[in-house]
């Protein structure tokens, strides 16, 4: 695969992570100040930190970010699948399911994309793969 196509895909993935970090920051702040829901705030804060670290790792093309992306993508993939399977009680939950299904495809794509040897060479990753 061409090097420029790989770099463009990494840039797109990085931008999606930036959008996720911004949305999680907004969600966490509304959970704290409006809803006072501690569990939702902690959950959003953990994802905010992990996705932020992944964003900066992708931005600076660090070799350790590939392992973190693979582990986080697998965890997020199953987390969103489970959230999709929970019955909807209102329209907000239904809208969340539509967005969650898009994220399931995004995280599934990452699992296949970051396992490619060309991508690992692009980041200079050495050593064993997680998956």
What DSSP string describes the chain? Answer: --HHHHHHHHHHHHHHHHHHHHHHHHHHHHIIIII--HHHHHHHHHHHHHHHHHHHHHHTT-TTHHHHHHHHHHHHHHHHHHHHHSPP-SHHHHHHHHHHHHHHHHHHHHHHHTTSHHHHHHHT--S----
> pLDDT at position 9, please?
95
Residue 81 clears pLDDT 60, i.e. is over it: yes
Model pLDDT, residue 128: 66
Give a yes or no: residue 105 inside a domain.
Answer: yes
Strand residues in 20-124 grouped as ranges (E)? none
Q: In terms of pLDDT, which residue wins out, 27 or 71?
A: 71
Query: SS3 for 88?
Result: coil
3-50 residue pLDDT tens: 889 999 999 999 999 999 999 888 888 777 776 677 777 888 899 999
Question: What is the number of structural domains in the chain?
Answer: 1
Mean pLDDT computed over 92-114: 93
130 domain residue, yes or no: no
Residue 51, domain member (yes or no): yes
Query: Does some domain include residue 131?
Result: no
Asked whether residue 10 is assigned to any structural domain, the reply reads yes
Tell me whether residue 129 is in a domain: no
- Higher-scoring residue by pLDDT: 59, 92: 59
Domain that holds residue 85: 3-123
Half-sphere exposure (CA, 13 Å, Cβ side) for 90? 1
Residue 83 lies in a domain: yes
Residue 95 in this model has a pLDDT that exceeds 80: yes
**pTM of the complete model beyond 0.75:** yes
Classify residue 114: in a domain, yes or no: yes
């Amino acid at each position: 695969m061409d090097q420029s196509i790989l770099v463009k895909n990494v840039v797109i993935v990085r931008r999606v992570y930036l959008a996720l970090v911004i949305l999680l920051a907004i969600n966490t702040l509304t959970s704290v100040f409006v809803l006072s829901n501690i569990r939702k705030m902690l959950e959003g804060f953990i994802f905010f930190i992990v996705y932020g670290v992944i964003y900066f790792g992708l931005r600076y093309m660090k070799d350790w970010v590939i392992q973190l992306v693979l582990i986080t993508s697998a965890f997020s993939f199953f987390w969103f699948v489970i959230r999709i399977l929970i019955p909807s009680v209102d329209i907000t939950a239904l809208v969340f399911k539509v967005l969650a299904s898009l994220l399931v495809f995004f995280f599934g794509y990452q699992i296949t994309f970051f396992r490619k040897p060309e991508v690992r060479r692009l980041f200079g990753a050495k050593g064993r793969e997680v998956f």
